Amino acid sequence: MFVDEITIYAKAGRGGNGVVRWRHEKFVDHGGPAGGNGGRGGDVYMRAVRDMNLLARYTGSKDFKAEEGHSGDKSSRHGSAGVDCYIDIPVGASVTDISRQRVFTFNKEGEIHKILKGGNGGLGNEHFKSSINRSPDKSTLGRAGESGDFLIELSLIVDVGIIGFPNAGKSTLLNALTKAKSRVGAYPFTTVEPHLGDLYGYTLADIPGLIEGASKGKGLGHKFLRHTQKTKMLLHCISLEEENVVDAYRTIHDELEAFDSALTEKEEWIILTKTDLVSQDTLEEKMSELKIYKLPVYAVSGETGNGMKELQDALTLHLTNREKETE
């Protein structure tokens, strides 16, 4: 599952407490105060990594906390600092600190921002020793670390979006072209969030199924179309179970145009799926019917694997050449 925004709660560590302790040395009377300061609470950082599916891991566990500082000790020993907390997020994400209205952006792998500061440690009684107070019986508690809610938003630009009616074979195609593990099922809306896969460094997204009326909010509606806007190129899957492949293509095309005319200007290939369900003559007939759109047409079968290698090679070569042209 791909998640493009999520809100989490994070808390930096509280500082450790200062302590009241006294020196107890043989032959030394009134050794004086020896209570150490508490350690500083851990900070919270965010770090950019190359994992576009990362936010999905946080849907079930949205609370993050750095370690508290350790209390001071006798013999003037200070407590150790709490361990910092690092929250990994995908490259390209922006993070809004909701209460403080701060925005952090992460544009390259390994980029790190401190988002919360740990609390200072408390003071031990040795700190309060002075010329007029040689035996202070006083210490302070560690201070609380900062905390807050953070909205993480990922503006992902996908190289190739795979679109089509529900159960058109989009997830199967993604799994075959990449090493993704998108859920596959023989019922509508198997995919309710985009799944991502990697094809030799290019990102492919299996985008939730579209139905007639999606531009008006039916089915997965605008949720589907919003993800489509983030793609550079489209693979339009049409199942050979469709009686009229031309009508099937036109329905999806019209929904894209009704939502945003710019979507119909994107580069597009037509992929006929489930070729194992029809004869060779029927396949050739349907491919011929789609020539009116003057788009590349490929035919594949997830069941037998026929046509997958040819499509994968052609798509990889095309994406590579397109990237060279834009350099």
Q: What is the pLDDT along the chain (327 residues), one digit of tens a residue?
A: 566 789 999 999 999 999 999 988 776 666 789 999 999 999 999 999 988 778 888 988 899 999 999 999 999 999 999 999 999 998 889 999 999 999 999 988 899 999 999 999 999 999 999 989 988 999 999 999 999 999 998 876 788 989 888 888 888 999 999 977 655 544 443 444 667 888 988 889 887 755 444 334 444 444 556 666 678 899 999 999 999 999 999 998 888 888 778 888 999 999 999 999 999 999 999 999 999 999 999 999 999 999 999 999 999 999 999 988 876
Q: What single-letter DSSP state applies at residue 199?
A: E
Task: State the pLDDT at residue 237.
Answer: 95
3-class SS letters over 295-321: CCEEECCCCCCCCHHHHHHHHHHHHHH
pLDDT of residue 184: 52
pLDDT of residue 235: 96
DSSP 147: E
CB within 8 Å of 293: residues ≥ 6 apart = 249, 270
- For residue 14, with 0-12 CB atoms within 10 Å meaning exposed, 13-18 middle and 19 or more buried, which class applies? buried
User: Residues 50-70, buried b or exposed e (16+ Cβ, 10 A)?
Assistant: eebebbbebeeeeebbbbbbb
Neighbours of 121 (CB within 10 A): 31
> How far apart, in whole angstroms, are the C-alpha atoms of residue 167 and residue 162?
12
Question: What is the per-residue pLDDT for 21?
Answer: 93
Q: Between β-strands 85-90 and 102-105, what pairing exists: parallel, antiparallel or unpaired?
A: unpaired
Hey, what are 29's tokens?
Answer: 């009377």
Backbone dihedral angles phi then psi of residue 323, each to the nearest 5 degrees: -65, -40
Supply the pLDDT for residue 222.
43
SS3 category, 224: helix
The DSSP annotation for 19-75 comes to ---B--BTTBSS--B-PPPPPPPPPEEEEEES-TTGGGGGSS--EEEPPPPPP--ST
> How high is the pLDDT of residue 130?
92
Please report the pLDDT score of residue 54 as a whole number. Answer: 86
Spatial distance between the Cα atoms of 37 and 123, rounded to a whole number of angstroms: 4
Q: Give the pLDDT of residue 32.
A: 87
Cα–Cα distance list, 217 to 5, 87, 159, 161, 213 (Å): 20, 35, 25, 20, 7
Query: Helix, strand, or coil here: 289?
Result: helix
Nearest to 192 by CA among 172, 206, 203: 206
Q: Which CATH architecture has domain 5-154?
A: Distorted Sandwich (2.70)
Cβ-proximal residues to 107 (8 Å cutoff; 6+ apart), any chain: 48, 91, 92
Query: Which residues are paired to 130 by β-bridges?
Result: none
**Amino acid identity of 315?**
L
Q: Please tell me the pTM assigned to this model.
A: 0.63
Fold classification of 160-326 (topology level):
Rossmann fold (3.40.50)
**Which pLDDT belongs to residue 280?**
96
Parse the chain into domains and list their residue ranges. 5-154, 160-326
Phi, psi at 215, each rounded to 5°: -65, -15
- Distance from C-alpha of 282 to C-alpha of 205, rounded to nearest angstrom: 29
pLDDT of residue 108: 87
Rounded Cα distance between 40 and 313, Å, is 55
At 313 the pLDDT is: 97
